[in-house]
Amino acid sequence: MIDKTALFKISYGLYLLSATDNDKDNACIVDAFMQVTATEPAICALSVNKQNFTHDLIFKTGKFNVSVLTVETPYQVFERFGLQSGKYVDKFAGFTENIERSKNGLIYLKEHTNAFMSFEVLDCVDFDTHTVFKAKITESSILSIGECVTYDYYRKHIKASVGGAAKGWVCNVCGYVHNGVDLPSSYKCPVCTVDATNFTKLS
């Protein structure tokens, strides 16, 4: 037996991943990001779901930015960038005061983040549902002294503060919470696309 909720015990940070192509900016919330070497320049690895529009932009252009989110990040930021697709909406509409552009022309957050980093992709590895991008850092800056937010903190404090974690169904794969008493058998997670059998009812 495999209890997928055991994966929730792995400590993740939460980041805003941004990319652009032909003046189309997009961003999404990711957690699978890490430094893998201490060489100069540093090499990092980033895993992105192929269903994400940001994935396609990175795959095409070979560059991306990462904004390191803090515990002060409001739920609305996660809602805007994590619970809707850039294929259908402009995620930055009405959000222009909180953003800046780095030297590579990509957006990063100025608030609710303690650092940003720009990357150039060196290689890609296919992992069925995800692509892992090997990338070198090209620019970085400290923006604040705010404490980094983890996935665990987000679920226990930020999402819970709006009542989203108190009822409904939680995705055992990515942690997305579907509000409502019933979960249709045909339902698919809007974040990671798994079916209803991968959801657990919250009390």
DSSP string, the chain: ---GGGGGGS--B-EEEEEEETTEEEEEEE--EEEEE-SSS-EEEEEEETTSHHHHHHHHH-EEEEEEEBTT--HHHHHHHHSS-TTTS-TTTT-GGGEEE-TTS-EEESSSEEEEEEEEEEEEEEETTEEEEEEEEEEEEE---PPBPBHHHIIIIITGGGTTTSSEEEETTT--EE-SS---TT-B-TTT--BGGGEEEE-
pLDDT in tens, the chain (203 residues): 777 677 667 778 999 999 998 889 999 999 999 999 988 889 999 999 998 999 999 999 999 999 999 999 999 899 889 887 888 888 988 888 889 999 999 999 999 999 999 999 999 999 999 999 999 999 999 999 999 999 888 888 887 776 544 467 877 776 677 777 788 888 888 777 788 888 888 76
pLDDT at 84: 78
